[in-house]
């Protein structure tokens, strides 16, 4: 009788999944995940604290980005980051200003992947500053605008509505399927 | 002798001619008797008169095969993407050897220590979990043959003029292997799924932490965390020690060095899905979330660079595959699409895997244009190049040989053969 109660309590505490499979994963807390949990969604979910401006971004860009992307984002051994050449054909260059649909992707990609030789070496403030610098050079935000978790998701990119899914039936329900 | 009668223009023979066996092939060679090998006196070569070399711990191909290698787009590892393309014209069968499987790495191959690698599953789950390689290797596993193809494979065919390059350069960003690993549905049973979850953002442990959003429905359908490739651990260029495998879906989504799966309600709109792997359309809009590698085929033998030395018998052979299912039929033309004959499909014919096709051909020594066209069991047919271009447009300028004017080209490829037996890439 006593044993029965203990088993029942165990099963209740661990839930049905515990009984079924190999259960060789280890539960992980949000704090333990923090260093990897950097993903930013278009609505701003996942953006960290901090902020930055074009003025703060300019010297960081000159020191850490211009080597590949050219002065003021004009392009070098890597793609130009400034400019919106018209999209005329399928092989037109896709730039932040003429193509990227979400401002959050600029922040997310700089933070996860840049600079090329030392990804994740920038502080969150530096990533905000570089994001502000590139968006302002592209005249998508004003030169004085401060980018932060509150302001960045509100920046509407020029080409936000320029996309359609190839096979809508393969898309989960949501606005992306209806485009 | 009926079976050696051409069944389509320019000398295509019945695909069953050799399966039936029997009569001497020479009967088919009307007008072109096979020349016997030049008379020579046979003698013992040196390798027959002395012991051979040390048997190595890990075997590699013969030194005489050292030309059978991948081609590198960025051999000095400059700060940009590296591509290594599969030499289809030097291979046979349906499986790509591990060392020749195509690789694209957007910032080099990460050198992951398997002891320290972790896979975290979190977000809209009931119980976030982290797995080691050792723990994953204890789960029930599944194996399946499936191709992986880069969304940009075959992109040079968007060029306004046919680019003179071989099948490795044009179609070398697709390969096929037997992958073994743990189904993601098994792991998600243990984390539990919040009913709000519709997408899974997958992330690699490489320098750009490459990330892509995948519909949860695909993850639960046939996705796996692959640990083995053709029997051995996944190669470094395929994401050692583990990769996401999404059978039939765009290569870039099969995230390598997989370390994190975050369940979300909306897609992440990552750099690679909202920018790089989106395709501009003639109306100025762009496809985003193409997902499927659609039905395609191309002839690997003969092909550019494999000059034919004399008229006579050749086997035309190539690869067909569909991200939607199983190949049901491949038709081959030797006269630029005026007439077609059905090719034999080499067993096994598996869903979302390479299928080798073959058809015997009697080349009369005159001009010929070889084409192949594939069908799958979901009713899809490979389009002509004209059909694709009418829908998707054409590049404004001739791209570099290894350039990517757009992605997701699955049209027909045409090889023209001249009277000298030289093969050229043409639009026909």
Tell me the pLDDT tens digit for each residue of A89-129: 999 999 999 999 999 999 999 999 999 999 999 999 999 99
Gap between the Cα atoms of A172 and A162, Å rounded:
19
Q: In chain B, what are the domains?
A: 118-287 (3.90.420.10), 296-426 (2.60.40.650)
Is-contact B307 B330, C-beta < 8 A?
A: no
Gap between the Cα atoms of A30 and B374, Å rounded:
49
Asked if residue A44 belongs to a domain, the reply is no
Record the tokens describing residue B229, joined without a space.
């490739």
Gap between the Cα atoms of B73 and B81, Å rounded:
8
Identify which of B419, B309, B321 has the alpha carbon closest to the alpha carbon of residue B372.
Answer: B321
> What pLDDT score does B17 carry?
83
Measure in Å the smallest separation between the Cα of B297 and chain A Cα atoms: 21
B139 interface with A at CB cutoff 8 Å = yes
Asked if residue A177 belongs to a domain, the reply is no
Asked if residue A179 belongs to a domain, the reply is no
**Confidence label for B31 from pLDDT (cuts 50, 70 and 90):** very low
Largest Cα–Cα separation, chain B:
78
Residues of A in contact with B80 (CB under 8 A): 77-78
Dihedrals phi, psi of B404, to nearest 5 degrees: -130, 80
Q: What share of chain B is helix, strand, coil (3-state, %, to 5)?
A: 15, 30, 50
Q: What is the pLDDT of residues B142-200, one digit of tens each?
A: 999 999 999 999 999 999 999 999 999 999 999 999 999 999 999 999 999 999 999 99
Number of separate domains in chain A: 1
Gap between the Cα atoms of B81 and B310, Å rounded:
41
B280 interface with A at CB cutoff 8 Å = yes
**Confidence label for B36 from pLDDT (cuts 50, 70 and 90):** low
Identify which of A159, A68, A71 has the alpha carbon closest to the alpha carbon of residue B285.
Answer: A159
Domain CATH code at residue A69: 1.10.760.10
Asked if residue A15 belongs to a domain, the reply is no
> What pLDDT score does B291 carry?
98
DSSP designation for B198: -
Gap between the Cα atoms of A154 and A150, Å rounded:
8
Region A133-155: mean pLDDT is: 98
Record the tokens describing residue A83, joined without a space.
């400019």
Is-contact A159 A100, C-beta < 8 A?
A: yes
Spatial strand order of the sheet with B286-287 comes to A163-164, B286-287, B279-280
B209 interface with A at CB cutoff 8 Å = yes
Query: Average pLDDT, whole number, for chain B?
Result: 94
Gap between the Cα atoms of B191 and B113, Å rounded:
25
Q: What is the pLDDT of residues A70-88, one digit of tens each?
A: 999 999 999 999 999 999 9
Angle at B324 between CA B270 and CA B242, to 5 degrees: 50
> What pLDDT score does B5 carry?
76
Q: What is the pLDDT of residues A45-70, one digit of tens each?
A: 999 999 999 999 999 999 999 999 99
**Confidence label for B37 from pLDDT (cuts 50, 70 and 90):** low
Asked if residue A8 belongs to a domain, the reply is no
Record the tokens describing residue B191, joined without a space.
């984390």
A·B CB contacts under 8 A? 195
Region B214-226: mean pLDDT is: 98
Gap between the Cα atoms of B269 and B386, Å rounded:
32
Angle at B229 between CA B215 and CA B116, to 5 degrees: 80
Q: Which residues pair with B344 in a beta bridge?
A: B358
- Is pLDDT of B13 > 60? yes
Q: Do A104 and B289 touch (CB under 8 A)?
A: no
Q: Secondary structure of B251-308 in the HEC alphabet?
A: HHHCCCCEEEEEEECCCCCCHHHHHHCCEECCCCCEECCCCECCCEEEEEECCCCCCC
Asked if residue A12 belongs to a domain, the reply is no
Measure in Å the smallest separation between the Cα of A152 and chain B Cα atoms: 15
Percent of the residues in chain B that have a pLDDT greater than 90, as a whole number = 92
Asked if residue A37 belongs to a domain, the reply is no
What is the number of residues in chain B? 428
| CA distances from residue A173 to A42, A170, B267 in whole angstroms, order as listed | 17, 9, 11
Asked if residue A34 belongs to a domain, the reply is no
Q: What is the pLDDT of residues B357-387, one digit of tens each?
A: 999 999 999 999 999 999 999 999 999 999 9
Gap between the Cα atoms of A24 and B114, Å rounded:
17
Per the structure, the complete domain to which residue A149 belongs is given by: 50-160
Q: Which A positions 53-92 lie with beta carbon below 8 A of chain B?
A: 68, 77-78, 87-92
Name, in order, each residue with C-beta under 8 angstroms of B47's C-beta and a sequence gap of 6 or more: none
Q: Which B positions 372-411 lie with beta carbon below 8 A of chain A?
A: 392-397, 399, 405-406, 408
Residues of B in contact with A105 (CB under 8 A): 269-271, 274-275
Q: Which B positions 218-277 lie with beta carbon below 8 A of chain A?
A: 218, 259-260, 262, 264-271, 274-276
Name, in order, each residue with C-beta under 8 angstroms of A152's C-beta and a sequence gap of 6 or more: A44, A47, A103, A104, A107, A128, A131
Residues of A in contact with B396 (CB under 8 A): 88-89, 91-92
- Is pLDDT of B120 > 60? yes
Q: Do A25 and B139 touch (CB under 8 A)?
A: no
Gap between the Cα atoms of A177 and B1, Å rounded:
57
Q: What is the pLDDT of residues B278-315, one digit of tens each?
A: 999 999 999 999 999 999 999 999 999 998 889 999 99
Q: Do B187 and A25 touch (CB under 8 A)?
A: yes
């Amino acid at each position: 009788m006593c044993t029965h109660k203990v088993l029942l309590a165990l099963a209740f505490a661990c839930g049905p999944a515990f009984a079924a499979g190999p259960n060789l994963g280890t539960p992980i807390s949000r704090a333990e995940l923090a260093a990897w949990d950097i993903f930013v969604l278009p609505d701003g979910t996942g953006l960290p604290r901090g902020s930055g401006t074009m003025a703060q971004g300019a010297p960081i860009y000159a020191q850490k980005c211009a080597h590949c992307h050219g002065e003021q984002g004009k392009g070098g051994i890597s793609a130009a980051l400034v400019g919106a050449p018209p999209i005329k054909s399928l092989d037109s260059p896709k730039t932040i200003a003429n193509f990227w649909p979400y401002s959050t992707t600029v922040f997310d990609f700089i933070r996860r992947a840049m600079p090329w030789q030392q990804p994740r070496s920038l502080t969150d403030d530096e990533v905000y500053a570089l994001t502000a610098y590139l968006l302002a050079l592209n005249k998508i935000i004003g030169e004085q605008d401060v980018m932060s978790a509150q302001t960045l998701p509100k920046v509407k990119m020029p080409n936000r509505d320029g996309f359609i899914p190839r096979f809508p039936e393969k898309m989960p329900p949501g606005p992306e399927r209806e485009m | 002798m009926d079976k050696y009668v051409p069944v389509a223009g320019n000398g295509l023979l019945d695909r069953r001619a050799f399966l039936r066996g029997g009569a001497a092939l020479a009967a088919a060679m009307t007008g072109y008797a096979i020349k016997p090998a030049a008379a020579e006196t046979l003698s013992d070569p040196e390798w027959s008169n002395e012991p051979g070399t040390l048997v190595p711990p890990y075997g590699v191909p013969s030194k005489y095969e050292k030309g059978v290698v991948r081609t590198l787009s960025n051999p000095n590892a400059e700060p940009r993407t590296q591509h290594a393309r599969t030499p289809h014209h030097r291979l046979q069968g349906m499986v790509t050897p591990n060392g020749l499987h195509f690789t694209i790495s957007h910032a080099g191959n990460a050198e992951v220590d398997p002891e320290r690698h972790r896979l975290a599953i979190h977000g809209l789950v009931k119980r976030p979990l982290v797995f080691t390689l050792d723990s994953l290797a204890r789960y029930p596993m599944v194996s399946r043959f499936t191709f992986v193809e880069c969304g940009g494979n075959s992109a040079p065919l968007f060029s306004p003029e046919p680019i003179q390059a071989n099948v490795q350069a044009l179609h070398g960003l697709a390969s096929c292997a037997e992958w073994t690993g743990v189904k993601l549905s098994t792991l998600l049973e243990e984390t539990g799924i919040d009913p709000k979850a519709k997408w899974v953002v997958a992330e690699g442990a490489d320098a750009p932490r490459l990330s892509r959003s995948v519909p949860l429905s695909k993850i639960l359908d046939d996705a796996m965390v692959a640990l083995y490739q053709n029997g051995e651990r996944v190669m470094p260029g395929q994401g050692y020690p583990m990769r996401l495998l999404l059978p039939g879906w765009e290569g870039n989504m099969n995230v390598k060095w997989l370390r994190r799966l975050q369940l979300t309600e909306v897609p992440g709109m990552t750099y690679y899905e909202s920018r790089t792997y989106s395709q501009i359309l003639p109306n100025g809009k762009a496809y985003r979330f193409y997902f499927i590698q659609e039905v395609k085929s191309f002839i690997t033998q003969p092909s550019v660079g494999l000059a034919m030395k004399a008229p006579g018998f050749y086997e035309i052979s190539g690869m067909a595959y569909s991200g939607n299912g199983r190949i049901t039929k491949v038709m081959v033309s030797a006269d630029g699409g005026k007439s077609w004959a059905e090719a034999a499909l080499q067993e096994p014919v598996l869903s979302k895997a390479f299928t080798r096709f073959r058809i015997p051909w009697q080349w009369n020594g005159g001009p010929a244009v070889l084409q192949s066209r594939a069908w799958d069991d979901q009713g899809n047919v490979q389009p002509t190049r004209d059909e694709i271009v009418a829908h998707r447009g054409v590049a404004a300028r001739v791209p570099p040989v290894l350039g990517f004017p757009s992605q997701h080209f699955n049209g027909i490829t045409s090889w023209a053969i001249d009277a000298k037996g030289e093969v050229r890439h043409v639009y026909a």
